[in-house]
Amino acid sequence: MISLVGMPGGGKSTVGRHLARQLGWAFVDSDAEIEKRLGCSIREYFDREGERAFRDVEQQVLAELAASPPGPGLVLATGGGAVLREANRQLLKRAGPVVYLRCSPEELFRRLRNDTQRPLLQVADPLKRLRELYRERDPLYRDTAQFVIETGRPSIPTLVNMVLMQLELTGHLDHRRAGPAIDRRP
């Protein structure tokens, strides 16, 4: 399993989908999986039940995905706050390589300024909130990930190739891409 972590709007789902297609692996967006399970949007559940209840469901879904990845391999795009819990950080590290798609708060704001679906950004000053989230989460993403890829403004194919190159150079992925050489750490 290859997990992608990073801030909301950092490109995890888009890059993950393309990466999985290139590898011939399954792709799962943990937020979409959570919404299927909940039967409502994350925003609705968040508003109704609160962040703690949401994080409980998120932790359970991540554990299930890590325990039984479908098919030959899995590319997992995690939610932006998945790293807030130590249990999730450890689980992702054990499941395989973790890639942090790093993006500045200012670039994230540019991408997300019209987004009304992300509960943590529905505030008076979303840029200020993104900066706060970044300060809080950047060290957690770095602690969890083996690789940091600066997303900035490269094209999606360029980002996918950067991820593949890192995984291949470090032996986490067979350079012929015929299959994973994923490191299963204890």
DSSP lists the bridge partners of residue 77 as: 4, 29
Which residues neighbour 125 within 8 Å (Cβ) at sequence distance 6 or greater?
Answer: none
> 15 with 47: CB under 8 angstroms?
no
Residue scoring higher pLDDT (18 or 176): 18
pLDDT by residue (tens digit) across 58-91? 999 999 998 876 567 899 999 999 999 999 999 9
Mean per-residue pLDDT of the chain = 87
Say what the pTM is.
0.87
SS3 of 183, please? Answer: coil
Provide, rounded to the nearest whole percent, the portion of the chain with pLDDT above 70: 89
pLDDT by residue (tens digit) across 6-51? 998 889 999 999 999 999 999 999 999 999 999 999 889 988 999 8
Domains of the chain: 2-169 (3.40.50.300)
Q: Report helix angle 42-49 to 51-67, nearest 10.
A: 130
